[in-house]
Amino acid sequence: MEQKSILRSIFDPANRANPYPLFAELRRTPVCWQEDGPHEGGSWVVSTYREIVSLLHDPRVSSDLRNCEQTGGDGMALEPFTFIRLDPPEHDRLRRLAMRHFGPPERPAFVEELRPQMERIAASLVDALVGERSFDVVARVAYALPVQVICAVLGVPPEDQPRFRVWADALVEEAGRLTAASRSRRNETMMALRDYMIALIERRRREPGDDLLSRMATDAGPDGRMDDGHLAATASLLLIAGHETTVNLIGNGVLTLLRNPGVLDRLRREPALVVSTVEELLRYEPPVQLLSNRTTLEPIEIADTTIPRGVVLTLALAAGNRDPAKFVDPDRFDPARRDNAHLGFGSGIHYCFGAPLARVEAQIALRELARRLERPRLVVDPPPYRSSPMLRGPRELRVEVDEVRRVEAPPGPSATSVVGAMEGRPHP
């Protein structure tokens, strides 16, 4: 296979079920120009672990695509006010404002305080499966859990969740198809979501609660307060990124466990194994496979190659996560793996700030499913995948079981209404 065709093949939906041989082929040339990719005009692709980490920490690499000469600065169309699309110092200031009410250092126990609520939601979702012998794990659990959690965290009214799902689905489906037409459709969706968030921000200012959006809209810290444009974009980012990657993490996790029944059996016996299991899943089947929202501020010499200034840069995280120069036997799923410094949440100043929440959600979901599904097995393998090559996960994961074990009903609200709303609605 010629080097220039590899990224095109990775983007081909026919290879979505197993892109890893293609990523291995890509690693043969750690830094290479690819004529195809997420942006018109091609991209420089970096595919080996050491080089990816180096660039994620390199100040000559910009996340502000207005600096991209190759695209004429047009790449900034996505999430135009979101701090993840900015560079220091503005990125750092806005990230501190976002983190102020979401985690350390101001609220170090935030995620742990949410754990009981997340456990109740997960238990309720699996309760709704009792008596069924076949169901779609993505629709019934992998999607339903994180969407309920992030909406509760932000203060999105339950009745608005269906509207949010339409927007999220549209944005994810356009990810990785960043032609002028797809950017236009994505921008229209982003503006609709932004308008909704601005209206919700105004409502939370009038009627504040203990949710994240109310706190961010009413409380100014030492760095000041976000203006409404940044606040709406940050809330939109949390809604999208706060559940879409977790949907894939849980879906990929269930699929991998069913393909590795020995690990699943051990997880039933040793629930604490779920922590290292999730970390290995983030390496082995990362929900974010490619980062293409980078450009170079000046020429960069790396791996005996010069990446020119102002070009689109794509970091193949999924390839780096299986780099044999970093990981022993990288194509083997091993929850007991040592030194598992994976790239599942990126690295550097743009490290995913929702990582603690995603980790706990996946741990709770996989542990609950492992202990309650009796002899689960895949109906279709490989399952149908979502179209995006960037955010990769099964669109549907139908499982047959002998039984869903009953447990004592957890305290707190039921998830029946959400499950009912999900019935018969295929995940994109």
Residue 271's pLDDT is: 96
Q: What is the mean pLDDT of residues 121-135?
A: 97
pLDDT at 409 over 60: no
Query: Prior bond to 105 cis, omega within 30?
Result: yes
- Measured CA to CA, the distance from residue 104 to residue 285 in angstroms comes to 28
Predicted confidence (pLDDT) per residue in 333-357, tens digit? 999 999 999 999 999 999 988 899 9
Band (412; pLDDT cuts 50, 70, 90): very low
Q: What would you report as the CA-atom Rg of the chain, rounded to the nearest whole angstrom? A: 21
Residue 77's pLDDT is: 46
Q: What percent of the chain has pLDDT over 70?
A: 87
Is residue 220 classed exposed, middle or buried when 0-12, 13-18 and 19+ CB atoms within 10 A define those classes?
exposed
Predicted confidence (pLDDT) per residue in 374-404, tens digit? 999 999 999 999 988 989 999 999 999 999 9
Residue 368's pLDDT is: 98
Task: For domain 3-422, say whether CATH 3.60.15.10 is its number.
Answer: no
* C-alpha dist (Å) from residue 332 to 2, 22, 133, 325, 381: 27, 17, 30, 14, 18
Band (59; pLDDT cuts 50, 70, 90): very high
Predicted confidence (pLDDT) per residue in 198-212, tens digit? 999 999 999 998 888
Residue 165's pLDDT is: 75
Helix axes 261-269, 355-372, angle to 10 degrees: 90
Output 91 or 136, whichever has higher pLDDT.
Answer: 136
- List the one residue out of 207, 255, 254, 201 whose CA is nearest residue 230: 201
Output 179 or 108, whichever has higher pLDDT.
Answer: 108
Predicted confidence (pLDDT) per residue in 142-186, tens digit? 999 998 898 888 898 888 888 877 787 777 766 655 566 766 777
Dmax (CA) for the chain in angstroms is 61
Domains of the chain, residue spans: 3-422
Q: What is the mean pLDDT of the chain?
A: 87
- List the one residue out of 306, 295, 307 whose CA is nearest residue 68: 295
Predicted confidence (pLDDT) per residue in 250-303, tens digit? 999 999 999 999 999 999 999 999 999 999 999 999 999 999 889 999 999 999
Band (120; pLDDT cuts 50, 70, 90): very high
Band (226; pLDDT cuts 50, 70, 90): confident
**Residue 240: phi, psi to the nearest 5?**
-75, -60
Highest mean pLDDT among 69-78, 233-242, 306-315, 419-428: 306-315
pTM recorded for the entire structure: 0.89
Residue 169's pLDDT is: 75
Residue 178's pLDDT is: 54
Residue 168's pLDDT is: 77
Band (74; pLDDT cuts 50, 70, 90): low
Residue 37's pLDDT is: 67
Is residue 109 classed exposed, middle or buried when 0-12, 13-18 and 19+ CB atoms within 10 A define those classes?
exposed
